[in-house]
Structure 1
Amino acid sequence: MSKPFSLLKRLPVTALVGLLLTFSFLIMAVFAPWLAPYSMSESVGDMWMGPSAEFWLGTDNLGRDLLSRLIYGARTTMTIAALATALAFSLGSVLGILAAVYGGWVDQLISRGVDIVMSIPTLIFALVILSVMPSTVLMLILIMGVLDSTRVFRISRAVAVNINVMDFVEAARLRGEGKRWIIFREILPNALTPLVAELGLRFIFAVLFLSSLSFLGLGVQPPDADWGSMVRENRQGIVFGVPAALIPAAAIALLAISVNLVADWILRHTTDLKGGRSG
């Protein structure tokens, strides 16, 4: 029992704050139906009511409880962003490492295909696809994951190319090890540190990307809600001094900061461990 507490005591303040905030958002997303005081689409008051004992964050443009929609929006936003990030990393890492290990025409074919996709601005690409395809949750995950996998491909390929020419990889080849061994036993374990650091950044970019699509009306569709659509629905209230649009925007910013703090700590921690082992 004392080991987890001793680990928490050794954490820097920034990492501890990041972990607490990230865990709070995760709890909010998982237990949204039990934590939200009202349903997501129920009108419970007048339009843009201020914070009160009944409505802690006030109401939105249709009189719905803003806190309840914020909690349900956390579930939608984090679920779609997490699944899209998982797809991006699975696809991008596999293709990047394969391109680095096999080289030749395999590398050229995959790299040039990625270059073509990356030559088109990501938001424009997604808007063109979503203008002719339904904006379902599955479609959003597929589009975000595939488009973001190009960035992961570039990073994983660059890392794998550097590892692929190191002495321990050459020694494995001389021992007669196959490409599968080299990929899973030599390259992938040594590529995890930069990929884990990139994982946090890609998750945040997925959150921002989804929020941008929803703000433009092509992301999450009613009656579901995410933080980007909440900003769009309440943006007119800013003119009248109503902070309903600023609350989900602040949630997006707070989630981005907390995840980045955790990712930075993981990167420093794993780097220190490797440095200690090599020394």
Structure 2
Amino acid sequence: MLKLLQQSPLSARIGMGIVILNVLVAIFAPLIAPYGETSIAGDVWEGFSAQFYLGTDHIGRDLFSRMVFGARNTIALAFITTLLSFLFGTVLGFIAAVKGGWIDQLLSRTIDMIMAFPTLIFALMILSVLGSSIPTLIFTIAVLDSTRVYRLSRAVAMDIEVMEFVEAARLRGEGLWWIIRQEILPNAMPPLIAEFGLRFCFVFLFIASLSFLGLGLQPPLADWGGMVRENAGAITFGIYIPLIPAGAIAFLTVGVNLIVDWFLHLSSGLHE
């Protein structure tokens, strides 16, 4: 593993550095932030100073502290949601590929119906009815995103399940879950890991979009997308504040994509 990291390109190392930095900030948020997540510490939209490193927001809260706590809230929510979407999508995709027949048709047509609706509109409709609590937000996005994971995992599993070693496992009398766990999953890991990074970026940006529209994490919780919406009025006065959380969103997204690009190159088997 260490040798692999040493051979990684500069772009992948930059991506790892960006991701590690954000994760460390999220983990140690209470130790890094000089003020509380909801503490009003100054006047509205103050500039850079020794007291407020990034200034203050629309009601006088320290923007640096809000950014630090926003990293914890946004990244944790996106990571948990992506894990759930992969759990739903891969399990159903593998079952559909291995069982085939009417089970495959039922699951695939159900997924097709869900995917027929624009994701953002579908999410807005559900959250408008059920509310924007954190469990509802996680479950809604996880279910919608699992449709993409299902399509990929099913396609990958269908290529693997026709292999001779899978047929040999069937002839030995191995059950469905044994075949999925021992034969399908290990061979499907490279594309699924790469897809996990892409799905994390999508979920991360999707949560930020919902927060910008007022249906993501609700105040007073700090959230990068919500912070852009809350301080959008500052642009009218030529104040930079909304660009900081927007830049943080782009920064982390680029970092994850740099790692994913490297991993896709490795899993493709191509060599320079």
TM-score category (smaller protein): over 0.9
Deviation string, structure 1 residues 225-246 (Cα, Å, up to 9, x no partner) = 2101000001111121111111
Q: How far off its partner does 1:8 sit?
A: 4.3
8 Å Cα contact 1:196-1:267 kept in structure 2: no
CA distance in 2, matches of 1:106, 1:183: 16
1:44 aligns with 2:41: yes
What is the letter of the counterpart of residue 255 of structure 2? Answer: S
1:75 aligns with 2:37: no
1:134 aligns with 2:131: yes
What is the letter of the counterpart of residue 204 of structure 1? Answer: C
Deviation string, structure 1 residues 140-190 (Cα, Å, up to 9, x no partner) = 111111110011001100111111112332233334433333211211111
TM-score of the aligned structures, taking structure 2 as reference length: 0.95
8 Å Cα contact 2:191-2:267 kept in structure 1: no
CA distance in 2, matches of 1:20, 1:264: 15
Percent identity over the alignment is 56
- Quote the residue 1:33 is aligned against: 30
1:207 aligns with 2:204: yes
Q: What number of residue pairs does the alignment pair up? A: 271
Between stretches 6-15 and 247-256, larger displacement belongs to 6-15
- Quote the residue 1:17 is aligned against: 14
- Quote the residue 2:249 is aligned against: 252
Q: How far off its partner does 1:264 sit?
A: 2.1
CA distance in 2, matches of 1:158, 1:23: 32
Give the root-mean-square deviation of aligned CA atoms: 1.6
Deviation string, structure 1 residues 205-228 (Cα, Å, up to 9, x no partner) = 111111111111111111112101
8 Å Cα contact 2:49-2:55 kept in structure 1: yes
What is the letter of the counterpart of residue 247 of structure 2? Answer: A
> Which of 52, 77, 84 does residue 55 from structure 1 map onto?
52
Q: How far off its partner does 1:138 sit?
A: 1.0
8 Å Cα contact 1:214-1:229 kept in structure 2: yes
Deviation string, structure 1 residues 5-60 (Cα, Å, up to 9, x no partner) = x5543221111111111000001111111111111111111111111222111111
Q: How far off its partner does 1:89 sit?
A: 0.0
Which blocks of at least 5 consecutive residues in structure 2 are unaligned? none
- Quote the residue 2:119 is aligned against: 122
1:190 aligns with 2:197: no
TM-score of the aligned structures, taking structure 1 as reference length: 0.92
The SS at the match of 1:244 is coil
CA distance in 2, matches of 1:175, 1:220: 50
